[in-house]
Amino acid sequence: ARRDKFTMNDVLLKAGMDVVKQKSCQTLEEAEQFAKELGLNDDDASDATKGDESNSPLVVVKPHRGVASDDVYLCSSMQSSREAFSKIHSSPVFGSSTAAKHQSVLVQEFASGAEYAIDVVCRDGDRKVAALWKYDKRAVNGAPFVYFMTQLIRAANNDDEGPKKDVEEAVCNYVFNALEALDIRWGLSHVEVIVTRNVETGSIQVRLVEVNCRQHNTDFMPLTNACVGYNALDMVLAAYLGDSDESSSSHEYPEETVHLRLPWDSLPALPTTRAHGAIIHFVSHVSGKISRINYEVFDQMEELPSVMDMHVYPHFLDEGNEIEKTVDIRSDTGWAHVMNDDEEEFQRDVARLIELQKEMFDVEE
């Protein structure tokens, strides 16, 4: 249940939590039948790769086990769902030590809404949020879920009232309940959820994307240190080596770790932020052999007031190397960390960074 995306949703469903409709399909016929039950038909009424989600039902076809958005397909027709099933079925299972291949494919209802990622550290069932992130994924380059920004969001703010605070609290409470249902009591988890708000009633529905028993796969430490004051890895040390309160934990710590222990009890259950921060993912909009690297564009990006640090992957710093259009997080060309106390300047710099990405590289015609 901690690695299989179907099983973890099934566990949450049995615990009475909201989840998407889903089915584990061993055959194409099973996948077709369930897609029809979800409303999919042979009329390709919308183009899922262009973010058109309003005209017809959509379904998600993906592996039981994977990473990021690899081999995750948003399908708007029966034909596209058949193609997705065929690509996943019998393909290698990510992270398998036995060269296993997918014998079944997961078909799910598409949950529209805002996507959040929550980094949580557990200490014998005592759970604390290390960071709350909001994804900005867009349809581009023929792919439906391309990362543009991962923004750090304030999880606790006593001065904030209204819809935004309701969402943050609902997300964190849902994640705590999900980890409890999955009996995850120790260590670091990276959890992703979709939040849908009913426009008429204002009610919030949170549903699971997946639980990952690992750290957030990005260089989050500099940003969370600056914006929050600590990071998830600090919290893991606090959980395993921190102060031991026998009244709240049955775990006994070795005496020789006294000098290494961090004050777990001083860490809040929900973090606050003291600045606006985000990771900007560099998206390639060109494909071919690199003919020119536009360093003057890099300079413009680095000079933006909100940019703390940026990195272009070495492969893309040699003319003549191949570059492809970004379709997933593995095909990014680099990243930037941005932070600013001023929200208006922060948002302006983010928009400028995203626009400048289109000019980073020229390719041979």
Residue 164: per-residue pLDDT: 64
Mean pLDDT of 4-31: 96
CA–CA dist 188, 114 (Å, integer): 23
* Top-confidence range, 51-60, 70-79, 102-111: 102-111
Concatenated DSSP letters of 115-174: EEEEEEEEETTEEEEEEEEEEEEEEETTEEEEEEEEEEE-S--TT--SHHHHHHHHHHHH
Mean pLDDT of 311-333: 96
Q: In this structure, how many other beta carbons lie within 10 angstroms of the beta carbon of residue 19?
A: 20
Residue 158: per-residue pLDDT: 54
| Residue labelled with tokens 């040390």 | 237
CA–CA dist 233, 145 (Å, integer): 28
- Torsion-angle region of 273 (φ positive above 0: left; ψ -120 to 50: alpha; else: beta): beta
Mean pLDDT of 41-55: 57
Q: Look at residue 52 and tell me whether its pLDDT is greater than 80.
A: no
Residue 246: per-residue pLDDT: 47
CA–CA dist 48, 346 (Å, integer): 30
Count of residues in the chain: 365
Q: Look at residue 104 and tell me whether its pLDDT is greater than 80.
A: yes
Residue 151: per-residue pLDDT: 97
Mean pLDDT of 327-356: 96
Question: What DSSP element (H or E) covers 232?
Answer: helix 232-241
Q: Look at residue 263 and tell me whether its pLDDT is greater than 90.
A: no
Q: Look at residue 249 and tell me whether its pLDDT is greater than 70.
A: no
DSSP state letter for 11: H
pLDDT-based confidence at residue 166 (cuts at 50, 70, 90):
confident
pLDDT > 90 fraction of the chain, expressed in percent and rounded: 70
Residue 289: per-residue pLDDT: 98
* CB neighbour list of residue 363: distance below 8 Å, 6 or more residues apart: 286, 287, 288, 289, 290, 291, 323
Q: Look at residue 229 and tell me whether its pLDDT is greater than 60.
A: yes
Residue 197: per-residue pLDDT: 87
Q: Is the pTM of this model over 0.85?
A: yes
Residue 118: per-residue pLDDT: 97
Q: What is the mean pLDDT of the chain?
A: 89
Residue 247 — φ and ψ, nearest 5°? -75, -20
Q: Look at residue 159 and tell me whether its pLDDT is greater than 80.
A: no
